[in-house]
Structure 1
Amino acid sequence: MSLFTILLGGDLFPTPAVARRVAGSRVIAADAGMKHAAVLGIVPELWVGDFDSEPETLPDHLKAVQRQGFPREKDKTDGELAADIALSLGATSLLLVGAFGGTRSDHEFLHLTLAIRLAEKGIPVVLTSGTQEGFPLSGRSEFSYPNNTLFSVIAFSELSGLTVTGAKWPLHDVEVPFGSSWTISNETDGLMQVTVRGGRAMLIVHPQPAGQE
């Protein structure tokens, strides 16, 4: 598999877990996401965007990264364009770093729906800020986190056949109405397994801080 990391303009808390996920991947920065490259100690192979949010202070070696520019008036965000380019370069899975938080909640929501759309096309996607990790859900998936790690299943439609095991509050083959808060704020209790038979959903996990893992 060819993993590409896309650096987005949201929040980043550079935890060891983020560094492990990024290690060995090819990296593309999307406009303001270049600010995370210095924090992570990496040099993207490409910098994509209209550069209206270009970080004011960057080291020279990051300023020199090859750019692919786009007009400000366009029909895709810089992050979506970066993902498209990664796929054109052979990406078979994506890591979206800086996908949560930031000053643009509309971009954050777009990252969630973009990840679900790509996952439906067979492209595995992980989203992270360091303090939050996101995984589109389809079929049966396993996740390994320390016990008592907070997580939620966010439904983007009605869900059918939702089963959650390895959790403080397990669920078995339940139907979840769209807009329900039923699946918010659960906790891991062993190896977590999540199955969704129908509908669109995202698992949001809040990893424990370093030293508490």
Structure 2
Amino acid sequence: MAAPTQDRDARFAILMDGDLTPTDRLRSQVAGARVIAADGGMRHAAALDLEPEVWVGDFDSTPDDLLGRNGHVPRQDHPARKAVSDGELAVMRALDAGARSLVLCGAMGGPRSDHMLFHIMMALRLTGERDIKVLLTSGTEEAMPLLPGEPAMPDWPAGTLFSVIPFSPLSRLTIEGADWPLDAVEVAMGSSLTLSNVSAEGLRILLGSGTAALVASFDV
């Protein structure tokens, strides 16, 4: 199958096989995006009213009814024994098509916490090395990379519970517009200092050096 041509729409939604709650917020985040499904993530397409342009995976455990309902979607088949996950294959397909922004739907929840951790680490790598904007979401939780440079200003409603998860020692971390603000503090890797904060108006988070992820939880 030929790779899709690049165009001006550089925003992609990747449907992954984790848990997903189809909230209005999530629907607005994927509205107008190009869509790629990763194996069992196809099950989320109908709930989000999305039509994937391609379905990527090894399909070794995909239910027959899901295959039957979506037989019209072009498939990119891969062997079950491979060096990358179905989700990463879908992301690679989007990047080959010119993606500059990714919404990884179903990347936060499910029975495999190792997959969730990988998705966060992949997002950190893509943002740090390729300047790709990445949002991970289950509908009820979101995560995004926090790297040095431009401040993060998430559009979370006031009262949103959020944490800054350090993946390295953090230097000069500043949090404004939150119940527990911080001013250019040092945070050790593994510290709980930045666990369970609450957003207020004008949330702004700035990191001097280090690598972290922002994780937010929503009441639905």
- What range describes the TM-score normalised by the shorter chain of this pair? over 0.9
Q: Is residue 208 from structure 1 mapped to residue 219 from structure 2 by the alignment?
A: yes
> Structure 1 stretches (4+) deviating beyond 6 angstroms?
none
Can you list the C-alpha shifts for 1:24-66, whole angstroms capped at 9, x where unaligned? 0000000110110121121100000111231343385522210
Q: Is residue 20 from structure 1 mapped to residue 28 from structure 2 by the alignment?
A: yes
Q: Which amino acid aligns with 1:160?
A: S
Alpha-carbon distance in structure 2 between the residues aligned to 1:208 and 1:62: 32
- Equivalent positions of 1:46-65 (< 5 A) are 46-58=54-66, 60=68, 62-65=70-73
- In structure 1, the residue matched to 2:138 is 129
TM-score (norm 2): 0.91
- Equivalent positions of 1:1-213 (< 5 A) are 2-58=10-66, 60=68, 62-120=70-128, 121-138=130-147, 139=149, 140-209=151-220
Alpha-carbon distance in structure 2 between the residues aligned to 1:95 and 1:101: 14
Q: Which amino acid aligns with 2:48?
A: L
User: Which secondary structure does the structure 2 equivalent of 1:57 belong to?
Assistant: helix
* Contact 1:148-1:187 at 8 Å conserved across structures: yes
**RMSD (Å), alpha carbons:** 1.3
Can you list the C-alpha shifts for 1:123-161, whole angstroms capped at 9, x where unaligned? 000011000011101221112322211000111111111
- In structure 1, the residue matched to 2:5 is none
**Number of residues paired by the alignment?**
209
Q: Which amino acid aligns with 1:157?
A: S
* Contact 1:9-1:33 at 8 Å conserved across structures: yes
Alpha-carbon distance in structure 1 between the residues aligned to 2:116 and 2:153: 25
Can you list the C-alpha shifts for 1:104-135, whole angstroms capped at 9, x where unaligned? 11111110100110011200000110000111
Q: Which amino acid aligns with 2:36?
A: I
Alpha-carbon distance in structure 2 between the residues aligned to 1:40 and 1:146: 22
Query: Higher strand fraction: Structure 1 or Structure 2?
Result: 1
- Name the % identity: 50
* Contact 1:143-1:191 at 8 Å conserved across structures: no
User: Which secondary structure does the structure 1 equivalent of 2:93 belong to?
Assistant: helix
TM-score (norm 1): 0.94
